[in-house]
Amino acid sequence: MIGIEVAHLTRKFGNVIALNDLTVSFAPGMLHGIIGPDGAGKTTLIRILAGLLHTGGGTITFQSDGKIVSFNDIRPQIGYMPSRSSLYPDLTISEHLEFFKDLYQLQTQAYLERRKELLSITRLEDFANRPVGQLSGGMYKKTALMCTLLRSPQILLLDEPTNGVDPISRREFWELLYSLVKKNITVITSTAYMDEAERCSRVHFIDNGRLLLSGEPKALLEQSHTKSFDELFTAQNKV
């Protein structure tokens, strides 16, 4: 299992400070939620963890089964799903899976077994030949997740995967994430939906590039004597 330690992370875009001395720990084999409003720094953090952006300062340490490993060694085990649309509307679900099979250089037999498994857990078997541009928002997100999971990553980085998805599809998507955690995959997902915070094993609230608080959802509510994460977040901002 893979864990990540982030210490004093800083990142600027011109005069805008996206991450400001951010320190946060992502324990292995858990479902972590990076919670915060638009502009909090969530996407910047996810993209840095995925190796798509350089830091402006600070350190990121990856640990595999308790041993420190380099990012280059761990990179093939990282799956990343961006928040923006990244699939081709004219290609079917099957064609996307074939495309990523070639991209990841997967062996045919391993690919076929993985394809069958992913179509089953996403309940998309009957839609495999439908163009992605004709899918609902929830089905689109599931397809993007399948493409990310095709090479069996051990750490999954999801940038606002349920944004704009209807409530039923959101629930189904979270059920998918729970099934992945049961397989000891470390899942780190960002969201602006406060109600999704309690669905996580650990939550990390950030705003203006700073960490406000981290911990187990139920414990945070009890310690702060608040009834919801909307209330808790508002209280933290006032502090």
Which residues are within 8 A (CB) of 105 and not within 5 positions of it... i.e. 6 or more apart?
Answer: none
Q: Check whether 94 has a pLDDT greater than 90.
A: yes
As a whole number, mean pLDDT of residues 87-109 equals: 93
The confidence score (pLDDT) of residue 85 equals: 73
- Examine the pLDDT at 239 and tell me if it is beyond 70: no
**CATH, domain range 2-85+155-238:** 3.40.50.300
What per-residue confidence (pLDDT) applies to 49? 96
Q: What is the 3-state secondary structure (H, E, C) of 68-137?
A: EECHHHHHHHEEEECCCCCCCCCCEHHHHHHHHHHHHCCCHHHHHHHHHHHHHHHCCHHHCCCEHHHCCH
Q: What is the pTM of this model?
A: 0.91
pLDDT at position 80 over 70:
yes
Q: Give the least confident one: 25-39, 163-177, 181-195.
A: 163-177
In the chain, the percentage of residues whose pLDDT exceeds 70 is 99
pLDDT attached to residue 238? 63
Mean pLDDT in the chain?
A: 91
